[in-house]
Every structure is written in C-alpha cells, then in structure tokens.
Amino acid sequence: MFEPREHYIHDAESGLSAFVVIDDTTLGPAAGGIRTRAYLNDSAALADALALARSMTHKCALAGLPAGGGKGVVNWHGGADRERAFERLGAFVDSLGGEFLTAGDLGTTQTDLLAMARHTQHVHTEDADLAAAVGDGCVNCMRAALRLPDVASAMTGVRIAVQGCGTVGAAVARSARAAGAELLIADIDDSVAGPLADELNATLVAADQILSADVDIVAPCAIGGAVNDRTAAGLRARIVCGGANNILSGSEVEDALRDRGILWVPDVLSSAGAVILGVGQRVLGLADCSALLHRMFDTTAEVVGDARDGNRRAGDVARRLAEARILAARDRLGSN
C-alpha cells in the first residue's frame, strides 16, 4: 500500500549521518519529528526511521488530519560540530519544499531545532506546547479505555504509573493529575523525577519497578519497546496507554497482554497529540486544536471497542482503520 521514500543526509565535516523517510503523502504533507541517538549503525537508524514514519502515517490518518507520515533520525556519535550538522539537516528539510513538516523527538534539543530553523520554516521549535498536547491527548485516550462516558469525565481514584519524567512524561503526568488521577512516577534520573513528584503530590517509584506497579493504567512515556516479553509478564495494570512511540517491542506482546486481559491502547492514538497540534496550527491554521484532541476520545473508544468485541488486537484494528481512511482518500483523488 505504501511506497516510502528514503533520503540519506551525510556531512563528514560536521559528523552528520541522518535519514529522512517520507512514508505516505496521500492525505497531505508528511509530518514527523527528528529523533537523535547513537544507533549501532546506519542500517539500524534507517530501520527505526521507516517504522516510525509508518506509525506517523497511521497516526495522522486516525486523527483525521490532512497530513501523511514521515520521520527523521540522526545517528549521532558525537561529531565535530553538532550545530552545523543540524543546520545542514534543516537545509535538506527545506529542499523538500514543505513536503516534510518536522519538530523535536527523543534526543533532539531545542538548540538543535533552532539550528535547523535558520535554514527552514518547516520545523516547529517549541517542544513544551507539543508535549502538553501529547499529555492531554493521552489522557483522553485513557478516559476512552476506562469506558468513561465522555472526554470531560473526571478520573478521580484512577491510579496511573507514569514511566519517564522527561518532557512528554511530565506532560502526561500533569494532564492525568489535573483530571483527578493518583500518580506513581519514575525515571532513571531521580533529579528529574523527584521535583515532579513533589509538584504533583505523586508517589516516587524505582525505575525498575514502575511497570509492575499495582495500578489501573501503566503509561510508558520514555523510549520505545518498554513493554516486552519480560516486562509484560510483570504488569499488574489493566490498561497500557502512554505517550511514547512504539511502546510494545512487537505485536506478539499484545497477544500476551490480551491473554491476561490487559488492554493496550495503540500509541498511534495515545501519542498523537503533538502531530495534532503541529498540523492543526501549521496546515489548518487553527488557533485552538482542542476539538481535534477531543476527537481522540471517540476514535480510541471505537478502536478498543472493536478490539474487545471481536477479540482482536487493538493495534490491528487501528492499522486497518487508518489504512481504510487513506484508501478512501486515494479513491476520491482518483475519481477527480
């Protein structure tokens, strides 16, 4: 169905080695952030970019956005000139003429984004507002998974374990606390988790124990693959719904969760707040994207309801719904 296009950007002088993947543009320009980390090799970096770009395609389609999916990854091992590297990446993004709209992601700093912005207008440089949108959207998905009656329902008494207290994890925690939830939080860096726990009157838990906490919802908000064969076996929550991308290490993990009666809310839904805000502002010109964020409640209720009723993977239901929307758009385009 999809024919992703891969772009390799290399600059020996600065140490830049990066990929930009345009997965699908049926619904509109490809949207996706820039991830920066030290990959084992460029093949691993490309594989991550391809998987993340496909997730963005599904994410935008499920959110009802006029956008497709893309992703940038930087394989960074401490090159000579990081500022120049991201300026070079920004120039490449600009050469695509608006086909790729980007922002920050794991490992990419605001300084990096500002360097890109010197050479392109197609980069969102503020991460706090995007993270807040992820938090609000993720909590809307939690409400739907809990079968609460509407998007404004309080979550008083709901216990949520948030893994990761970075920008996204903190935003999810704040949104959940504002909705009335009781919080347990953890991060590998106690200097980050401690102040957030104090701010939100949350219980601080050891990082290696947060996923096995006795709660209603586990919210992975750090690096992908947090829920794998080992950690899934230790889960005591009844719902997994977080702000991270690619939360499960593989589709077989969802089978293991289903066998135990644990519902997974696909992260193409639960982490979609950032792209909803970014596309809503940049493409649709909306000053207020709250209606789009509220729509996530209805879409999640549809996906998890179909999964429960048909004893199917929620991930498969979400993928089929997204691809059906894209195919319908292609049919409309073909008939014009």
Which amino acids are annotated catalytic? Answer: 71
Q: How do beta strands 16-24 and 68-75 pair?
A: antiparallel
- What whole-number distance in Å separates Cα of residue 319 and Cα of residue 60? 11
Residue type at 148 in one-letter notation? L
* Number of residues written out for the chain: 336
- What whole-number distance in Å separates Cα of residue 196 and Cα of residue 146? 25
Q: How do beta strands 5-11 and 34-37 pair?
A: unpaired
Determine which helix (DSSP H) or strand (DSSP E) holds 250, and give its type and residue range.
Answer: none
- What whole-number distance in Å separates Cα of residue 247 and Cα of residue 76? 23
Determine which helix (DSSP H) or strand (DSSP E) holds 22, and give its type and residue range.
Answer: strand 16-24
Determine the Cα angle at 301 with ends 102 and 330, to 5°. Answer: 50
Q: Would you put residue 246 in left (φ > 0), alpha (ψ -120 to 50) or beta?
A: left
